[in-house]
Each structure stands twice: as C-alpha cells, then as structure tokens.
C-alpha cells in the first residue's frame, strides 16, 4: 500500500473517530502522522514535527487566553446582561436582540462556543419569562453566535483564514466573515418569521433582576480588550502576540488571575486543530492530498462544486468538529480540488466549506446546540433536542443550496 493511500486512510480514520467517539482526534492525528510519516512515508521525526502549526497555535492560545480572562472575572457576563436587558419583556424583540448579542460576542473574539456558553442559561430563562419558545430562543442564540464565528478575531476565524492562506487564497478575512454572517442572517430571519407566525411569541410572566454593576477588574478588562481590538484592526498588530500582551497586562493589573485564566482556555479544541494540521501536513508530503482531492473531484463538476463541497462538509460537521476537523482537513484541498474538477473559483469553494460546515452547528450533537438543550427547562429539553436535531440536519441541504446559488457571486463582488 502506497504512503499516499496510507496517509489518506489515516485522515479518514481520524474523521471517523471524531464522529463516532469522544476521543480528542488531535491526539489520534499526531500519532497517525508519526506512524505514517516515519514508517511508511520515509520522513524523519523532525520532518513530521515541522508540520505542527506553531503560528496558528500561538494565535489560538493568545486569543482564547484573553477572553478566558474576561470570562473568569465576569466581564463578559456583565456585558451580556446589559445588552439582553434592552429587550426584557418584549417577546417580539427578544429573539432579534439575542441574535445580535450572540453575534457581537462571538465576533469580537470569544467565538461561538464561548458566546453560547455565556448566553444560553440567561437566554433560555428570558425566553421562558417572555413566552418565546425554547426552539426560537435556542436558534437565535446559536445562529447568532455562528454568524460571528468566522470573524478574523475569533478562534474559528483564525483557523479558517490560516488554512486558506496556506492554500494560497488568503487576504479575504472580511469576505470570510461576511459570507458566513449573511448566510446565518438569512436562516435566522426565516426562522423568526415562521416561528413568530405560529404563536411562539406570547407575552411572558416575569422579569429578571437588574444587571449587576461593573467592578474595577471588569472595567479594566473591558478597556484592555477594546484597546486590543483597535490595535489589531486599526494598527495591524499581530493578533495572537498582542493578545498575549493584553493578558499579561490584565494579570499585572490584577484584573485577572493567571491560574483561572489558563484553566478556562479550551485546550482540547486547540489541540484538536493543531493535531489534525500535523496529519494534513503529512498527507501533503506523501501525496495523499492529491489522492484526497481527486476523490472529491469525482463527486463534483465545475458547475456544482460549491454546492457539493458545502453538502459534504456540512454532513461531516453535523457529527464532527467544524474548527477542529472539517476546516483543517478540507480548506487545504481547495486549490487542487478546483484544478482536479477543471474549473471553479477557489475563493467560492473555500467560502462554501466555511458556510456549509457552520450552518449545521445548531444541532444538539454539536457543542452549541447541546449547551442550549442543557440550559432548557427540564420539561422542554427532550422536545428541544429533537427539534434542534431535525433543524441541524436540514441545514446540510440549506447550506448546500445557498452555496450553490450564491457563493460564486459573492466571491466576485
């Protein structure tokens, strides 16, 4: 068996394990990269290690550390309380406010998982108090968070942009974010209209306590994060390295505690992303990437490539990790995939991978949907699980259709 085929089988095994088990596929991917690269591909151990994405690791670690600090001292919670208070008691406005709030929180740096983890308990309670259905509440929170999840400041946006740049299609950070944002806006708007018409906006029966005031540590954290955002967007500071500097400043000013901050970083996701990247690097070195793209190319034509790749990545992402598995595995294939198919816009294909794999993340099989189910009232949890599962599966087809119709156009505007 050739090294290229072994490397491809190793990647497919890693994807299958990410779907069927709870083992961190990053750990498995590193071991598979070592075994295939050294003992089948004739690579040295040092050559395998060079596939570790050090720059990506530092960027992810820096960004997640910064927002772990803001979460640990309660800054993000105070911000969320104030924004959510804008719609308290108004069942028609609340879903829209939840969408915007989740989108903003995810966009400025924490990412979708952190935004939903922060908002879900409060949002599900607000929905119950105002008479908004658990389904509509959960959809607004999850689609809102996902709409901002490919911001150049968020961890998943960092992964997407890094992998696109590695494939020679970098420099489109705003299009990456905007394409994903607009797709989720369309879906959320449709669900808001449909569910509102079916009686999911009756008046509620209660109110929540007034938001707690910001303390000294939270005010400092908010100011430091604001300065960091301005530095990254306005002065082109390195995203990850400047985030480390901001974290050190917070710790020095006693606005965050080092041990608590480090403990809150989603290290499992960071390890998953970097581990799969090591295996993908071995895939490239052994020729397995060419084999992988040739197999994908057989499923599509130049006219259908956007919809097909969105469908494939959406189906896999329903059961697997978008940022940890799908984006690192598929985005590097884009240039060769377009060449194998014989036509297509690489940027449009990359956007289709991003959008197709993201829209399905409302499923309770993903972290976002699961957080909302966990936050629902006990009597609502079972029904909400089934509803979100059906909705998430339907997004495989919706994402494919949207990408087939719009990705090519959007890539050229």
Asked whether residue 177 falls in the same domain as residue 28, the answer is no
Specify whether 56 is located in the same domain as 40.
no
Pair (161, 19) in one structural domain: no
The domain in which residue 45 lies consists of 1-50+279-287
The answer to whether the beta carbons of residues 200 and 127 sit under 8 Å apart is no
Residue 203's pLDDT is 45
The residues facing 300 across adjacent strands are none
Q: Are residues 14 and 92 in the same domain?
A: no
- Do 33 and 158 fall within a single domain? no
Which residue in this structure is represented by tokens 């009232």?
A: 377
* Mean predicted confidence (pLDDT) in 237-263: 92
Q: What is the pLDDT of residue 83?
A: 65
Q: Each residue of 381-390: pLDDT tens digit?
A: 888 889 998 9
Q: Are residues 58 and 44 in the same domain?
A: no
Task: Let me know whether 38 and 60 are in one domain.
Answer: no
Residues 142-151: tens digit of each pLDDT: 999 999 999 9
pLDDT of residue 201: 47
If pLDDT is split at 50, 70 and 90, which confidence band does 88 have?
low
Q: What is the mean pLDDT of the chain?
A: 87
Helix (H, G, I), strand (E, B) or coil at 365: coil
256 plus 331 within the same structural domain: yes
With b for 16 or more beta-carbon neighbours within 10 A and e for fewer, the 100-123 pattern comes to bbbbbbbbbbbbbbbbbbbbbebb
Q: Which two tokens stand for residue 319?
A: 């059961």
Using CA atoms, how far apart are residues 333 and 4, in angstroms rounded to an integer? 15
Percent of all residues in the chain with a pLDDT value above 70, rounded to a whole number: 94
Q: Is the pLDDT of residue 210 over 80?
A: no
What is the mean predicted confidence (pLDDT) over 236-250? 91
Spatial neighbors of 102 by CB under 8 A, at least 6 apart, are 112, 115, 116, 119, 140, 141, 142, 143, 144, 145, 147, 148
Residue 93 in tokens: 């406005």
Residue 208: predicted pLDDT: 54
Tokens representing residue 110 in the block: 């924490």
Q: Is 201 helix (H, G, I), strand (E, B) or coil?
A: strand
Same domain, 34 and 63: no
pLDDT band at 99 (very low <50, low <70, confident <90, very high): very high
Are 283 and 301 contained in the same domain?
A: no
pLDDT at 107 over 50: yes
Taking the C-alpha atoms of residue 384 and residue 372, their distance in angstroms, rounded to an integer, is 9
Q: Do 238 and 370 lie in a common domain?
A: yes
First to last CA, the chain: 45
**pLDDT at position 207, please?**
52
DSSP codes joined into one string, 240-267 = HHHHHHHHHHHHHTTSS-HHHHHHHS-H
**Residue 210 C-alpha from the chain's centroid:** 31
Torsion region of 254: left, alpha or beta (phi above 0 gives left; psi -120 to 50 gives alpha): left
Q: What mean pLDDT is predicted for residues 227-243?
A: 87
C-alpha neighbours within 13 Å on the C-beta side of residue 119: 38
Helix axes 239-252, 54-72, angle to 10 degrees: 30
312-317 mean pLDDT: 91
Phi, psi values for residue 132, rounded to 5°: -80, 135
Mean pLDDT along residues 15-26: 83
Domain count for the chain, please give it.
Answer: 2
What does the DSSP assignment read for 111-177? HHHHHHHHHHHHHHHHHHHHTB-HHHHHHHHHHHHHHTTTSTTSHHHHHHHHHHHHTT--S-HHHHH
Domain boundary among 256, 287, 318: 287
Local confidence band at 227 (pLDDT 50, 70, 90 cut-offs): very high
Q: For residues 261 and 259, give the distance between their C-alpha atoms in angstroms, rounded to a whole number.
A: 5
> Containing H/E element for 4?
helix 3-20
% of the chain surpassing 90 pLDDT: 45
Tell me which of 287, 316, 337 is where a domain ends: 287
User: So what's the pLDDT on residue 189?
Assistant: 94
Same-domain status, 25 and 140: no
Residue 246's pLDDT is: 95
**164's tokens:** 């696109």
* Residue 304 buriedness (CB in 10 A; 0-12 / 13-18 / 19+): middle
Residue that finishes a domain, picked among 287, 310, 328: 287
Compute the average pLDDT of residues 264-268: 84
Q: How far apart are CA 292 and CA 401, in angstroms?
A: 24
Query: Which has the minimum average pLDDT: 147-151, 295-299, 401-405?
Result: 295-299
């Amino acid at each position: 068996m050739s090294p290229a085929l072994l490397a491809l089988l190793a990647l497919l095994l890693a994807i299958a394990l990410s779907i069927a088990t709870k083992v961190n596929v990053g750990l498995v991917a590193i071991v598979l990269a070592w075994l295939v690269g050294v003992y089948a591909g004739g690579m040295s151990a040092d050559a395998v290690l060079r596939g570790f994405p050090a720059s990506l690791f530092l960027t992810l670690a820096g960004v997640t550390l910064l927002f772990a600090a803001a979460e640990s001292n309660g800054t993000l919670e105070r911000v969320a309380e104030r924004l959510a208070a804008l719609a308290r008691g108004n069942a028609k406005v609340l879903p829209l406010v939840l969408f915007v709030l989740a989108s903003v929180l995810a966009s400025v740096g924490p990412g979708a998982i952190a935004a939903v983890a922060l908002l879900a308990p409060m949002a599900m309670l607000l929905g119950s108090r105002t008479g908004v259905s658990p389904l509509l509440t959960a959809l607004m929170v999850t689609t809102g968070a996902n709409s901002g999840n490919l911001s150049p400041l968020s961890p998943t946006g960092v992964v997407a942009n890094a992998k696109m740049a590695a494939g020679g299609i970098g420099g489109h950070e705003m299009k990456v974010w905007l394409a994903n944002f607009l797709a989720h806006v369309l879906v959320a708007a449709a669900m808001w209209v449909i569910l509102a018409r079916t009686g999911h906006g009756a008046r509620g029966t209660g109110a929540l306590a007034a938001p707690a005031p910001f303390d000294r540590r939270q005010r400092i954290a908010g100011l430091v994060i604001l300065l960091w955002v301005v530095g990254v967007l306005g002065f082109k500071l390195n995203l990850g390295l400047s985030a480390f500097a901001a974290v050190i400043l917070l710790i020095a000013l006693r606005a965050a505690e080092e041990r608590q901050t480090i403990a809150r970083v989603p290290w499992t996701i960071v390890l998953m992303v970097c581990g799969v990247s090591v295996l993908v690097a071995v895939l490239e070195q052994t020729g397995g990437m060419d084999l992988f793209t040739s197999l994908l190319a057989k499923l599509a034509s130049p006219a259908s490539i956007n919809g097909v790749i969105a469908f494939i990545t959406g189906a896999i992402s329903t059961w697997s990790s978008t940022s940890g598995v799908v984006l690192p595995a598929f985005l590097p294939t884009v240039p060769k995939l377009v060449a194998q198919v014989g036509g297509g816009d690489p940027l449009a294909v990359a956007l289709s991978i991003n959008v197709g794999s993201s829209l399905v993340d409302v499923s309770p099989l993903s972290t976002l949907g699961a957080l909302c189910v966990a936050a629902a009232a006990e009597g609502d949890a079972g029904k909400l699980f089934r509803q979100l599962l059906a909705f998430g599966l339907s997004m495989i087809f919706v994402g494919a259709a949207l990408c087939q119709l719009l990705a090519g156009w959007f890539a050229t505007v």
